[in-house]
Structure 1
């Protein structure tokens, strides 16, 4: 069967026709006529992930009532939780769990500018690898390019949020009561670091949800650009 070469057009990316042909030759399994702005399509897909999914995490109970991303207690504090419930302090344990999820919801509001910057800096090579990658390749790209900056932004916000939402007092009370139980091993967890990492995990899980939708569900390709770009993926 006669193969039709894919022509990939990303403004300002290529310095010569030879370079364009070299890149096109690396994609023998993806065939399409005309010009397709792959980079633009993938940027739109990632923006959809942020605008449709990540924003949900910033609402009240965005983490706490979403079983996909709900922040559970670290192993050390699971012992604390069980011990408190045994001595009739279930409400205090519930309040502690809800409080750490509230701090994550507060922190995620800081994520969008960092994501937008990472998306703007996506190169054609990034776009090509994402398009031909697995169903979470775009999410993996975003995770690799933003995790450090997001941690730096989330961590102080979560630290401040512990005070703002009252989580610091709740957990100080929880830890004090637990450490007062005879014969238990004393705990002093770094909850700020733990919640920061769990919040990051939640963000990327939600981006991955939208990416999978766009890759596998034609109805989720809500623009002509998304339809054209991901039609190439369908043919790989």
Structure 2
């Protein structure tokens, strides 16, 4: 409907100008209308601004997650014992293996922190395909629209790329060994249903989820807080909302 009204307005302008016998630069008229509807921003500025905002969020999010205790002491993204085998944790604590469970959970989060160091180039590469249409929707969308776009369009690729990094990190922090030992001990208990969950898949998904949460927080800051807009382009693009 808005486009129809806009076209009607353009036709009206053309009619008025023609009746007046004046020359009309259609490109200039359309350019002026587009400029007004987008706050004076060019298409390239809009796309570049959104990409830059995501990169700022990714950089800050990855830096926060990859520091010591970035996951482990952050209750919002801390990775707990795998919920689908929560009974393992409960049973092991009952027989006095609580410290071993805690050691595993710490190693699991250390693995995520270690893997987060490698997240930046993977995420940044993933946002390079953003189109002008995507950018407009994000710019006018909710405060987490950019993060949701990134999550929606890149999750599968990120899991595939991030999985071997997480696996290597879990081995480095010995989380895989700790969990194998815990699962083996649990499976020897009488009358229990044996477990063998996909620890790598669980850790990969939780690590990515945690990074998205941090990126979403950074996006919200950029949208709501002018001081978080660290470059002239971010100030121009998000200041036009």
Q: Which residue number corresponds to residue 68 of structure 2?
A: 60
Distance in 2, matches of 1:86 and 1:135, equals: 44
Counterpart of 1:147 (choices 155, 159, 181) is 155
Q: 2:173 aligns to what? A: 165
- Measure, in 2, the Cα distance between the counterparts of 1:146 and 1:45: 17
Could you tell me which residue of structure 2 aligns to residue 75 of structure 1?
83
Contact 2:114/2:169 (CA < 8 Å) preserved in 1?
yes
**Contact 2:41–2:237 (CA<8 Å) still a contact in 1?**
no
User: What residue ranges of structure 1 are gaps of 5+ in the alignment?
Assistant: 6-15
Distance 1:90 1:162 in 2: 20
Deviation sequence 1:123-150 (CA, Å, 0-9, x none): 2111111101111111012223322221
Distance 1:79 1:17, change over 3 A: farther
SS in 1 for 2:149: helix
Matching residue within 183, 186, 200 for 1:192: 200
Which residue is 1:219 aligned to? 227
Distance in 1 between the 2:52 and 2:169 partners?
31
Measure, in 2, the Cα distance between the counterparts of 1:153 and 1:118. 11
Residue aligning to 1:98: 106
- 2:96 is matched with which residue? 88
Q: CA RMSD in A?
A: 2.7
Write out the 4+ residue segments of structure 1 that deviate beyond 3 Å after TM superposition. Answer: 20-25, 33-36
CA, structure 1 residues 31+149, in 2 after alignment: closer, same or farther (shift >3 Å)? closer
Q: Return the TM-score normalized by structure 1.
A: 0.82
Whole-angstrom CA distance in 1 between matches of 2:115 and 2:52: 24
Q: Which has the higher helix share?
A: 2
Structure index of larger Rg: 2
SS where residue 62 of structure 1 aligns?
Answer: coil
